[in-house]
C-alpha cells in the first residue's frame, strides 16, 4: 500500500500572538513551529496501515526552508521519504492554490498512491479544506473526519465521526483521499534509531517553478479569496479579571458566584 500524507508546519499552540507590521499574520520572530495536530494523527494512521499491510509512506509538505525540519520529524517517526515543495510566499495562495501545488507534486510521483491522508484542518488557518480540494483536483473520492481505516480487499472501510456523539462507517474504493480527525490513536514518538535513519532518507525538493514547468495548469491563478487583515478578537462578554494570590482570586470568585451570579 502506498500512502501519501500531506502535512503542515504550524506555529506551536502556545505561540505568542503579536500582529505583524502588515497586519496580515502574526509576527513569527522567535515563534516555534510544530507539526499540525491532526496531520500528526494522519501520519500515525498511515504508519499503522503500513505496519499491518506493508508498503510505503511518503510525506509531503509545502513551505519555506524551516518546513524541512517537520518533514525530517515525520521521517524519524517512520515515514519512508519526503517531498518538500519549496515556497517562501505560500501566504499569497488561497486554499485552492496550495492544494493545486500539493496535487501537482503528488501526480508527479512515478507510482500512484492508494491513499492520500491529511489532517482535517490546520491549527493556524483552520479552513479545513485542503484534503477535500485535493480530492476534487485529483478526481478521487474522499471522506472527512475519519477515525479508523480498515483495508478490505482493494477497498477500504472507514469510521467517520458525525456530530453529537454519532458515527458512521463508509466504504470507499481506492485510491481515495481521507482527512483524519485528531485523537483516535496514541501518537508515537521518534526513536533514537528512527532519528538516525531519518538523516539518510530521501527528501525530494521541488520548486513551484518546477511544478509549473511540468504542468502549466498549476500556475497560480489570482486567489479567489483574500485575507485582507488580521486583528485581535473583540470580547464577546465583559470579563471581570480577578487578580491577587490564588487564595485571593479564589475568594473573590466565590463572592461573585454567591452575590452576583447567586449560584452558591
Give, as ranges, the residues between 17 and 76 that touch another protein (CB under 8 A).
Answer: 17, 19, 26
The nearest distance, CB 167 to another protein, in angstroms, is 6
- Report how far residue 37's alpha carbon sits from residue 39's, in angstroms, rounded to the nearest whole number: 5
Asked if 115 and 46 count as a contact pair (C-beta separation under 8 A), the reply is: yes
Binds another protein (CB under 8 A): choice among 129, 180, 198, 218: 129
Our measurement of the distance from residue 92's CA atom to the centroid of its chain's CA atoms, rounded to an integer in Å, reads: 18
Using rule CB under 8 A, residue 162 touches another protein: yes
Using rule CB under 8 A, residue 192 touches another protein: no
Using rule CB under 8 A, residue 150 touches another protein: no
The nearest distance, CB 245 to another protein, in angstroms, is 8
Give, as ranges, the residues between 87 and 116 that touch another protein (CB under 8 A). 94-96, 99
Give, as ranges, the residues between 197 and 236 that touch another protein (CB under 8 A). 222-236
Task: Quote the Cα angle for 53-59-64, to 5°.
Answer: 175
Residue (199 or 237) nearer to another protein, CB: 237
The nearest distance, CB 183 to another protein, in angstroms, is 3
Burial profile 89-98: b = 16 or more Cβ within 10 angstroms, e = fewer: ebeebbbbbb
Residue (55 or 128) nearer to another protein, CB: 128
Residue (77 or 142) nearer to another protein, CB: 142
- Report how far residue 82's alpha carbon sits from residue 194's, in angstroms, rounded to the nearest whole number: 15
Residue (21 or 232) nearer to another protein, CB: 232
- Report how far residue 220's alpha carbon sits from residue 217's, in angstroms, rounded to the nearest whole number: 8
- Report how far residue 80's alpha carbon sits from residue 74's, in angstroms, rounded to the nearest whole number: 9
The nearest distance, CB 232 to another protein, in angstroms, is 7
In the three-class reduction of DSSP (H, G, I as helix; E, B as strand; rest coil), residue 202 is classed as coil
Amino acid at each position: 500500500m502506498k500512502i501519501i500524507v500531506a502535512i503542515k508546519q504550524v506555529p506551536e499552540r502556545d505561540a505568542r500572538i503579536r500582529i505583524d507590521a502588515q497586519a496580515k499574520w502574526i509576527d513569527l520572530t522567535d515563534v516555534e513551529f510544530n507539526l499540525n495536530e491532526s496531520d500528526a494523527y494522519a501520519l500515525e494512521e498511515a504508519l499503522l496501515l503500513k505496519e499491518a499491510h506493508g508498503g510505503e509512506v511518503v510525506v509531503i509538505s509545502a513551505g519555506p526552508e524551516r518546513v524541512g525540519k517537520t518533514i525530517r520529524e515525520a521521517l524519524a517517526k517512520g515515514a519512508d521519504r519526503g517531498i518538500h515543495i519549496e515556497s517562501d510566499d505560500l501566504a499569497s495562495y488561497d486554499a485552492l492554490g496550495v492544494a493545486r501545488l500539493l496535487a501537482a507534486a503528488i501526480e508527479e510521483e512515478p507510482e500512484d498512491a492508494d491513499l492520500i491522508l491529511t489532517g482535517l484542518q490546520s491549527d493556524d488557518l483552520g479552513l479545513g479544506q485542503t484534503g477535500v480540494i485535493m480530492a476534487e483536483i485529483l478526481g478521487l473520492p474522499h471522506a472527512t473526519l475519519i477515525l479508523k481505516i480498515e483495508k478490505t480487499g482493494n477497498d477500504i472501510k472507514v469510521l467517520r465521526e458525525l456530530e453529537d456523539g454519532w458515527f458512521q462507517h463508509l466504504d470507499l474504493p481506492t485510491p481515495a483521499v481521507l482527512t483524519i480527525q485528531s485523537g483516535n490513536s496514541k501518537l508515537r514518538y521518534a526513536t533514537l534509531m528512527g532519528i538516525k535513519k531519518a538523516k539518510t532518507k530521501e527528501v525530494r525538493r521541488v520548486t513551484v517553478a518546477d511544478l509549473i514547468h511540468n504542468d502549466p495548469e498549476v500556475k497560480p491563478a489570482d486567489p479567489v479569496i483574500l485575507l485582507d487583515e488580521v486583528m485581535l478578537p473583540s470580547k464577546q462578554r465583559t470579563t471581570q479579571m480577578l487578580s491577587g494570590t490564588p487564595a485571593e482570586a479564589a475568594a473573590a470568585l466565590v463572592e461573585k458566584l454567591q452575590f452576583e451570579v447567586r449560584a452558591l
